[in-house]
Amino acid sequence: MDTRLLQTFTALARTGSFTGAAAELLLAQSTVTAQIKVLEKALGTRLFDRLARGAVLTDAGRRLLTSAEEVLEAESRLLAAAAEDGPIAGTVVVGAGETLCSAHLPGVIAALRSRHPDVEVHLQPCSTASAVEGLRAGRLDCALLLEDRVDHPELTAECIAGQPLVLLCAPDHPLAGRERPVTWLELAQESFFLHEQGCSYSDWLAQRLLAVAGAQPRLTRFGSIEAARSCVAAGLGLTVLPRANVAEALRDGRLTAVHGPSLPDVSVHLARHRRRHPSRAARTVAAEVVRHFRGEREVMSEERGNR
């Protein structure tokens, strides 16, 4: 049996739409329809009910979906085993939020190009929800998630680092340079420029501010951390960001850290699909990601020891 038919079957099961499956597989919709018909004829059973709201798995389709995924996984392992003795090469698609894409992944790519020039990394900036869907659909080989917990049955997730958060303002802001720590009550009266909803650390701060009795914070959300950072540098309010994303701005004095409540580190998880066997190239990229964060942690420990 042509495993491409099984790929089309699993894609249609995930998307519930012939149009969606065609877009995911880069095929014409008519090709998806034809391949499903061929597979149904070969198996001797109807796999989908074609309804107005989309393609819905039949009972037989639901029973066969797990087996189809197991066949595709076995094919992936076979191809990976065949390539074990060759050079490490290939394209690896990595999903991550803007916070990590801007501060960390350029260094990972630079190291890979030096050590493994035949490995090509494609970065796909995305939210946690989009990254999870990309892993499930097979569009991503791995993803970096800034979340305290990653609880998805189809994924494995390893916590590889913690990112320290910094409460920030402009050097001429009234809260800059205060010796007495700023309280949550005081912070709850300020204006904040935060990364978009779905950003774990921004959501945490917003919830913490709104939980203060009589809280009246003005919260503005941006899809870009650069936009939030620029507003704060202009003296318009405060923000919270991982230290790695503002290290340069802190050094050159465009931003300053607010002396306030202690903030928790945000965890970095390396996530992959539980049932997909990673290629050598994907394993190499994952190892370089871990090496990068381990090196960053050692540098931060040295800096703390020198203070």
Q: Which residues pair with 252 in a beta bridge?
A: none
Q: Which CATH number fits domain 165-264: 3.50.50.60, 2.170.150.20, 3.40.190.10, 3.30.70.120?
A: 3.40.190.10
- Res 304: pLDDT: 53
User: Which residues make Cβ contacts (< 8 Å) with residue 11, sequence separation at least 6?
Assistant: 21, 24, 25, 32, 137
CA–CA dist 5, 229 (Å, integer): 48
* pLDDT value of position 85: 64
Ordered strands of the 266-273 beta sheet: 119-125, 90-96, 142-146, 266-273, 155-163
Amino acid letter at 172? D
Q: How do the domains of the chain map onto residue ranges?
A: 3-82, 90-161+267-306, 165-264
Check if the beta carbon of residue 97 is closer than 8 Å to that of residue 128: yes
Neighbouring CB atoms inside 10 A of 110's CB total: 12
Instruction: Report residue 123's pLDDT band, with 50, 70 and 90 as the boundaries.
Output: very high
pLDDT in tens, 265-302: 999 999 999 888 888 899 999 999 999 998 876 655 55
Rounded CA-CA distance 180/63 in Å is 64
Confirm whether 90-161+267-306 and 165-264 share one CATH topology.
yes
pLDDT band per the 50, 70, 90 thresholds, residue 6:
very high
| pLDDT tens, residue by residue, 246-266 | 999 999 999 999 999 999 999
Which element (helix H / strand E) includes 36?
helix 29-43
Choices 2.40.110.10, 3.40.190.10, 3.40.50.800, 1.10.390.10: CATH for 90-161+267-306: 3.40.190.10
Q: Pick from 26, 24, 27, 2: which is nearest to 13 by CA?
A: 24
The pLDDT of residue 114:
92
Integer Cα distance of 4 and 156 in angstroms: 26
pLDDT at 203 exceeding the cut of 60: yes
Structural contact between residues 171 and 249, judged by C-beta atoms closer than 8 angstroms: no
Q: How confident is the model at residue 137 (pLDDT cuts 50, 70, 90)?
A: confident
- Of 97 and 53, the one with more pLDDT: 97
Instruction: For residue 142, name the pLDDT band (cuts at 50, 70, 90).
Output: very high
Classify 166 as helix, strand or coil: strand
41 Cβ neighbours under 8 A, 6+ residues apart: none
- Of the CATH numbers 3.90.1150.10, 1.10.10.10, 3.90.105.10, 1.20.1250.20, which one belongs to the domain with range 3-82? 1.10.10.10
Q: What are the Cα distances from residue 97, in Å, to 70, 126, 199, 286?
A: 30, 5, 8, 16
46: amino acid identity, one letter:
R
Angle between helices 29-43 and 18-25 (to 10 degrees): 100
Residue indicated by tokens 């809280």: 215
The pLDDT tens digits of the residues spanning 158-188 come to 999 999 999 999 999 999 988 899 999 999 9
